[in-house]
Amino acid sequence: MAVADTPLYIAIADLVTAVSVDDAAVADRLRRRYADFLCAPTTPHVAVNLTVVPGASFIPLRPGASWEVRVATADGVTQFVSYLEQGWFDLTAGVGQLTLAPHGEIENYLRVLYARLCLRHDALLLHAAGVLRNGEGYLFFGPSGAGKSTVARLSAEAGALPVSDDIVIVRRRGEELLLCGVPFLGELTHAVRRNAQAPLRAIFSLQQATRHAVRPLPRPLAVAGLAAAAPFVHDDPALGAALLRACARLATQLPPRTLYFARNPAFWEVIDGVVAALP
Amino acid sequence: MELLQRYPEPHPQTAGRLIDGEAVLILAESAEIDVLNAVGSRIFELADGSRSTAEIAAQLAAEYDVPAAQATTDTIQFLSELVAQRILVWRDTPVSDHV
């Protein structure tokens, strides 16, 4: 089996994972897949050894079943298993291991890893749409079906630049909050994903309506909504406490609002009006 | 042991935080997220393992100016619901008694 000569350094929201792959073909596939997020060799936050095993299968595939990812943490080590991938990581030690079939994917493992890595670095991985407009970032969160993809699509029609229609990272740089794109595609293989960052200007919970409006959102509801939008971190009470703390800081720094929107890009006129009135 | 002499505290699998006087909870076992109303949040805040149910009821009676008997009944009912939902657990002794 050919061995890749150097690790891939993947930087997502400036958090770096070095992935050493023992299979050149898989390494090439990952290099293409994460091309926009590769960075120069550096000291990574996590170093992952990836082993490719032909025929590997860890959960039996069942037709019609929803995609399954099992995650459990004990003694600081997070175990991960899905259909064609199985591994673990220890964020305190900064190491991990992943075994996968030749056509397996590293994506779900990285999602879990980054969801938890973010909480250690004053950042949040969120199921949310992220949009850049006039050099500033806007975050739209809500449960599945709330309209994240719709808002991202309509934002593009309004001349804004979507960085993602369903998953982003918000991280802190000094006193500033940054909206950061991620490479994760999930089931939306044609989804918009951009490696872009911008100062976060405003956050909105999404509510579909017949006319556009923006209303204040009580902070407790905003924190609950943001926490609900954070995947892969609800199973551990310690992570839950960190998650609530991070969401509370976010909802304190940027007053949360609800965007009531109809299916046309004119909701940006309402948002622009709200933002123009901000200090 | 009668509930009035027991000491409610957060379930070890529950993370909670008071935001503007309302408790936002993450229940790790069920991955549920709840927001308690103002009175429920105050009870959750007081249920830190150091106060008995009777002490919590007495404090609520004073704070909300309700008869002691009503406060006791309501407090027992609400705490029991939170225990059933695995948001709180009962202790037989206060936290400070444990070394």
Give mean pLDDT, residues A33-52: 96
* pLDDT for position A135: 95
DSSP states along A99-117: EE-TT--SHHHHHHHHHHH
Give the model confidence (pLDDT) of B34-74 as tens digits: 999 999 999 999 999 999 999 999 999 999 999 999 999 99
CA–CA separation, A153 and A230 (whole Å):
22
% residues pLDDT > 90 (chain B): 92
Are A247 and A223 a contacting pair, CB within 8 Å?
yes
> Helices B38-46 and B53-64: crossing angle, nearest 10°?
140
CA dihedral B81, B85, B86, B87 (to 10 degrees): -70
Question: Angle at the Cα of A185 (from A108 to A197), degrees rounded to 5?
Answer: 105
User: What token pair was written down for B75?
Assistant: 């407090």
* pLDDT for position A65: 72
Does A234 contact B13 at a Cβ distance shorter than 8 Å?
Answer: no
Top residue of B24, B32, B37 to mutate, by most chain A CBs within 10 Å, is B24
Which residue is closest to A236 within chain B, CA to CA? B28
Give mean pLDDT, residues A222-250: 95
pTM of the model as a whole: 0.93
User: Is 80 exceeded by the pLDDT of residue B95?
Assistant: yes
Give mean pLDDT, residues A173-178: 94
ipTM at complex level: 0.91
Q: What is the mean pLDDT of chain A?
A: 93
Q: Shortest Cα distance from A123 to chain B (angstroms)?
A: 18
User: Is 70 exceeded by the pLDDT of residue A188?
Assistant: no
Give mean pLDDT, residues A3-24: 90
User: Is 50 exceeded by the pLDDT of residue B98?
Assistant: no
Give mean pLDDT, residues A144-168: 93
User: Is 90 exceeded by the pLDDT of residue A187?
Assistant: no
CB pairs under 8 A between A and B: 53
Closest CA to A226 of A202, A203, A207: A203
Q: Judge whether B95 is closer than 8 Å to chain A, CB to CB.
A: no
Q: Which residues contact B84 (CB under 8 A, 6 or more apart)?
A: none
Give mean pLDDT, residues A37-66: 90
* pLDDT for position A61: 78
Top residue of B30, B33, B41 to mutate, by most chain A CBs within 10 Å, is B33
Q: Shortest Cα distance from B37 to chain A (angstroms)?
A: 10
Give mean pLDDT, residues A187-201: 80
Does B33 contact A228 at a Cβ distance shorter than 8 Å?
Answer: yes
Residue B95 DSSP label: G
User: Is 90 exceeded by the pLDDT of residue A176?
Assistant: yes
Q: Judge whether B89 is closer than 8 Å to chain A, CB to CB.
A: no
Q: Judge whether B26 is closer than 8 Å to chain A, CB to CB.
A: yes
Give mean pLDDT, residues B10-35: 95
Q: What band does A103 get if pLDDT is binned at 50, 70 and 90?
A: confident
User: Is 50 exceeded by the pLDDT of residue B99?
Assistant: no
User: Is 70 exceeded by the pLDDT of residue A154?
Assistant: yes
* pLDDT for position A186: 55
* pLDDT for position B21: 95
% residues pLDDT > 70 (chain A): 96
Q: Which residues contact A256 (CB under 8 A, 6 or more apart)?
A: A203, A204, A205, A216, A217, A219, A221, A222, A226
User: Is 70 exceeded by the pLDDT of residue A193?
Assistant: yes
